[in-house]
Chain A
Amino acid sequence: MDCGEFPAVAAELALGVLTGRARAEALAHAEDCAGCRETLRQLTLTGEDLLQVLPAAEPPPGFETRVLDRLGLPPASAAGRRRPGLRYRKTLAAAVAAAAVIAAGLGGWGLRGLEAGPAPSPPLTSAALTAGGHAGAGEVYYYAGSPRWLYMWADLPGGNGVVACQVRGADGRYATVGWFRLNGGYGSWGSPVPQVSGPVTGARLLGPGGRILAVARFLPAATGLRLDHRAGDGRIGAMTTAISAGTVGSAMLLEPTVHPADLTVAQARDAFDFSRKRHMLLLVRDGMLLGTLTRDDLPSGAAGPGSPALDFASLEGRTVSPDAPLAFTHEAMCSRGIRRLAVTDDRGRLLGLLCLKRSLRGFCTDEGVAALRAERAR
């Protein structure tokens, strides 16, 4: 495919209705051509906007409750009273951080991974709240994007009533961001942070009479993200300590098994049947990851064995940047029950595979996989 042919299929590609070989060829061309890639990006945005002018509609009564029930969450009436467990708070930490730091390659949705030159991600920093010299009083997350915002949870035994939250600027001065209430010592809260110009270097909570209840200090931006897990329970703490350093790129398999983009459904089934350890198939063309397949993606029954497996593949939520911090990625995978993530660069080129062990305590290595294959061959 060339630039002369691309416009004829670009709209179908952007709207997600181009399939099979034509789709693969168009994607391959867009990867190599900045002009066509930009056209595709614009058309994709237009297609997304089209959905948002559809008439809104009120869902049936009780919808909200049924959604929360489906997710295993308490209904709205109890939400404000509920004191989330440590795991919730830990996974919130992972989710907040991952949302800002995991560059999804071709992930996210649609074709946005083909955008040229993504802007640098606004930094998200976090720090433990320390009370009386002991960490574990909570955590503070500060997002330096637009708008800037702050989210925190605090767990101060014996604390009740309204507390003030202040943030510390680079000059050491504190500014009050707002107030929130502790119930039974626990409270969580978020707010935009318009009060401080320049970087935020810390935060603190004040009780009645201006008494300092807890403080948090962010590491300088140059040292990157900090997530202090000293407050964690032993299990999670032990796991994250073991993999707290490094990035996804340092832990990924460099030579994962890949499959051609024109793999059929029947061939995909055979590939899964070949090894029960195989959780995800990587469909690749010219080094580009065009899709990933799990067992659940394949159509049920014997329908369509000759159909392109790519039609059932997805990239959504299945890719990660090699630069993503490993600790956050690990937590996100554990909390989601995901044990495989394809590692891609900003253009969607496959770099490796992050393979979480069944024990959830570490990642597979190329050496380990090779040894397993050798053993199987014997």
Chain B
Amino acid sequence: MESKRRPVRNKGPGLAPVPAGRLPDETLLAGLGAGDAELAVAFVRRFQRLVFGIAVTVVGDRAAAEDIAQQAFEQAWRHAAVFDPRRGSVRAWLSVITRNLAIDVLRARTSAPVDPEALSGLLAAVTDTPERLALAHDRASELRRALADLPPGQARAVAMAGIYGMTARQIAETEGIPVGTAKTRIAGGLRRLREAYSADGSSPPDGSNETGET
């Protein structure tokens, strides 16, 4: 029996107006840089969880993280005009800006850059791969698995350098190991991560992080 449901009408070649929240990242960044309020709002909404997540992970307290996150958006606004899309994604660019600002805050503190317990918790959270994710083949899942497969010392060294901006000497002091060993762990760990998945893939390692539009 033929269905009584009517097919969806093809409305022709036109599309409905695209909300700012669905525009490409580069367009939103350009709008932010130009002071276009609507595009700036969309940009902040798209990336605020990513930016705040990185900041609070690195510095560990929400008040400082908010200031860092605000600074990150300010820097994006200030430097939007010279962002070069050929060299990487807006997401990666903004992530690195945020991390660098957070590391500046860490370096100004006199206490140890990272609490060992916090680091262990972070690594556990980052490498947690429930069944749904364990079967996935996106870059984020592959990176998580690769991190989980690293020897603990290498994983900690890569996280301390890559996330907290700690030098080999600082890692050596924190872990109570020779500087040479710290350097070897950073080099070996990052090399194994690179070999375990293709960092050149076209899709971003989205994982449990930002989903784009909010």
Chain A residues near B (Cβ < 8 Å): 7-12, 14-19, 42-43, 45-60, 63-64, 66-68, 70-74, 76, 78-80, 82, 84, 88-89, 91-96, 98-100, 102-104, 107-110, 112-113, 115, 118-119, 121, 143, 145, 147, 149, 151, 164, 175-181, 188-192, 195, 316-320, 332, 335-336, 341
Contact of A47 among B44, B81, B85, B190 (CB under 8 A): B190
Considering only residues 137-191 of chain B, those with a C-beta below 8 Å from chain A are 139-140, 143-144, 147, 158-159, 161-163, 165-168, 183-184, 186-187, 189-191
B50 pairs with A104, CB closer than 8 A: no
CB <8 Å contact, A17 and B161: yes
Contact A110 B96 (CB under 8 A): yes
A138–B159 CA distance with the chains assembled, in angstroms: 49
In the complex, what's the smallest C-beta–C-beta distance from A121 to chain B, in angstroms?
A: 6
Also in contact, A51 and B54, with CB within 8 A (given A60-B66, A95-B80, A335-B81) = yes
Main secondary structure of the interface of B (DSSP, over half): helix
Q: 28 pairs across A/B with beta carbons < 8 Å? A: A11-B161, A12-B167, A17-B166, A19-B167, A42-B200, A46-B190, A49-B143, A51-B95, A52-B206, A53-B143, A53-B205, A56-B49, A57-B65, A58-B52, A63-B66, A64-B44, A71-B77, A73-B35, A79-B38, A91-B35, A103-B84, A104-B84, A108-B88, A109-B93, A143-B27, A147-B24, A151-B23, A188-B38
B82 contacts A317, C-beta separation under 8 Å: yes
**Which residue from chain B places its CB closest to the CB of A151 in the assembled complex?**
B27
- Among A48, A56, A109, max chain B CB count under 10 A is at A56
Interface size class of B (residues with CB under 8 A): 35 or more
Residue contact A118 to B87, C-beta cutoff 8 Å: yes
Chain B neighbourhood of A191, CB < 8 A? 15, 17-18, 23
Q: In the complex, are the beta carbons of A98 and B207 less than 8 A apart?
A: no
Q: State the CA gap A91–B36 with chains docked (Å).
A: 9
Q: Enumerate chain B residues within 8 angstroms of A113, measured Cβ to Cβ.
A: 87
Contact: B37 with A79, CB < 8 Å? Answer: yes
A43 touching B191, Cβ below 8 Å: yes
Q: How far is the CB of B166 from chain A (nearest CB, A)?
A: 7
A101 to B103 Cα, complex, angstroms: 31
In the assembled complex, how far is the CB of residue A335 from the closest CB belonging to chain B, in whole angstroms?
7
Q: Is B86 an interface residue (CB 8 A)?
A: yes
| A59 and B83 contact, CB distance less than 8 A | no
Does A71 lie within 8 Å of B35, measured CB to CB? yes
Q: Which of B27, B66, B84, B140 contacts A52 (CB 8 A)?
A: B140
Q: How far is the CA of A99 from the CA of B43 in the complex (A)?
A: 15
Whether B95 lies near A175 (C-beta < 8 A) is: no
